[in-house]
Amino acid sequence: MAGLLTVMVFSYLLGANPLWRIAQSLLVGVSVGYVSLVVLTQVIAPQVGRIIQPPAGEPEVERWLAVVPVALGLLLLLRIAVPGAWPATLGLNLVVVVGAALALGGALAGILVPQTLDTMRLLYFSDSDPAAIAALVGNIVLVLGVICALIYFAFGARANGERPRVVREVSVVGRWVLVVAFGAMLGSLATTFYAALIERLVFLVDLVEELAGF
């Protein structure tokens, strides 16, 4: 079955065809079904269970708090019958606002703040450590690269509409820093894709050898 699905996916190299569409539909259907099952068993069922039969020793206020997400979920289902109903809009707005807040907080705490702190390197040199020279050069390159990349996005202009000469020259370096960074990211993604492709090709070759009795 795995080999058949792999061949069906590779058939897209010849253009869109029924085999590719079947494999695509199977992927989407299985993914949606799996996610729906996880949500039903791990999110909805426990919340409803806390309302119907709360755990022993749980405060009564916890039971009433469990009603809130269930009620909001029912409001979202109301959009299926009455798309313009304002109670359904209330639940949807709350989901969007909470999701945006969590995404923003995660981006700040997990990406922006750690990367900002990591660029604050100490430029020191120790004769007793042979690796200190390489570390010092790396820190200098990192700090200068960050500064040049930030200057590239500095769009302040003089009265005549041109940026200062120094800013223009440094922004060119910043542009190349961004090009190298994006190129490295693209190369890393391409390597991952090539590794997955090679793994599937090796799988097909092994499957053919096994079926042929080699």
Give the per-residue pLDDT at 76. 79
State residue 29's pLDDT score: 93
User: Tell me: the pLDDT tens digits for 14-54?
Assistant: 888 888 889 889 989 999 999 999 988 888 888 777 777 77
Residue 161 is predicted with a pLDDT of 63
pTM for the complete prediction?
A: 0.58
Which pLDDT value is given to residue 60? Answer: 74
pLDDT at position 157, please? Answer: 56
Spatial contact of 49 and 62, defined as CB atoms under 8 Å apart: no
How high is the pLDDT of residue 183? 94
Q: Where are the alpha helices (DSSP H) in the chain?
A: 2-10, 18-39, 45-52, 60-81, 86-107, 113-118, 132-152, 165-212
For residue 167, what pLDDT is reported? 80
Which residues in the chain show pLDDT less than 50? none
Residues 6+ apart with CB under 8 A from 41: none
Cα 128 from chain centre: 42
Express each pLDDT in 136-156 by its tens digit. Answer: 888 888 888 888 888 888 766
Q: What is the pLDDT of residue 186?
A: 93
